[in-house]
């Protein structure tokens, strides 16, 4: 099965911005959605539009498609892009010098987990610093100068950790 060019399916140019892609997808989806248009051709076209948008909406699959498209010769004559008078010198093709690498995609649950760990770290550090500082004042008041000073220093270190002055752990 030969797939059609996703740019032609969405009706956008190859250098379209993500916002233009989204507008084109939403415009076509409203017109071709199976709940609104019961014809069989509309359903098949809607699936093609959905697949085209999934390919072009993510930067990595879009880059891979553009590179594959650039390697294959065009089947028919295409009009050249308009000439812009801006002074731009492009030495190499984008991404040509970069090696292929794995990209980690963050999910919503990853972000939620990171925020939870950050909150737990902040709460633990601030709580321990308050305990050590209060304990130091109590020990000094009871007459234990050395344990009071040690506890005070530990509280100050925990406060510095809390404000990331001393880099110990930063959840990413």
The rounded distance, in Å, linking the Cα atoms of 92 and 80 is 19
Q: What CATH superfamily classification does 6-71 receive?
A: DnaJ domain (1.10.287.110)
Q: Is the pLDDT of residue 26 over 80?
A: yes
pLDDT tens track for 107-164:
778 788 888 888 887 777 777 777 777 777 777 777 777 777 777 777 777 777 666 6
Range 60-75 burial, b when 16+ CB lie within 10 A, else e: eeeeebbeeeeeeeee
pLDDT tens track for 30-75:
998 888 888 888 888 998 999 999 989 888 888 888 888 888 765 5
Mean pLDDT, rounded, for 90-116: 65
The rounded distance, in Å, linking the Cα atoms of 58 and 22 is 11
């Amino acid at each position: 099965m030969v797939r059609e060019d996703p740019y032609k399916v969405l009706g956008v140019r190859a250098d379209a911005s993500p916002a233009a892609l989204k507008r084109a997808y939403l415009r076509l989806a409203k017109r071709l959605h199976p709940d609104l248009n019961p014809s069989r051709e509309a359903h098949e076209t809607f699936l093609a539009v959905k697949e085209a948008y999934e390919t072009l909406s993510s930067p990595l699959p879009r880059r891979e498609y553009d590179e594959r498209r650039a390697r294959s010769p065009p089947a028919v004559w295409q009009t050249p892009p308009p000439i812009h008078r801006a002074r731009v010198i492009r030495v190499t093709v984008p991404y040509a010098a970069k090696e292929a690498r794995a990209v980690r995609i963050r999910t919503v649950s990853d972000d939620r987990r990171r925020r939870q760990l950050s909150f737990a770290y902040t709460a633990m550090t601030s709580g321990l610093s308050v305990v050590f500082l209060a304990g130091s004042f109590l020990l000094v008041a009871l007459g234990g100068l050395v344990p009071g000073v040690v506890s005070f220093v530990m509280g100050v270190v925990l406060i510095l950790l809390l404000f990331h002055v001393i880099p110990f752990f930063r959840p990413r």
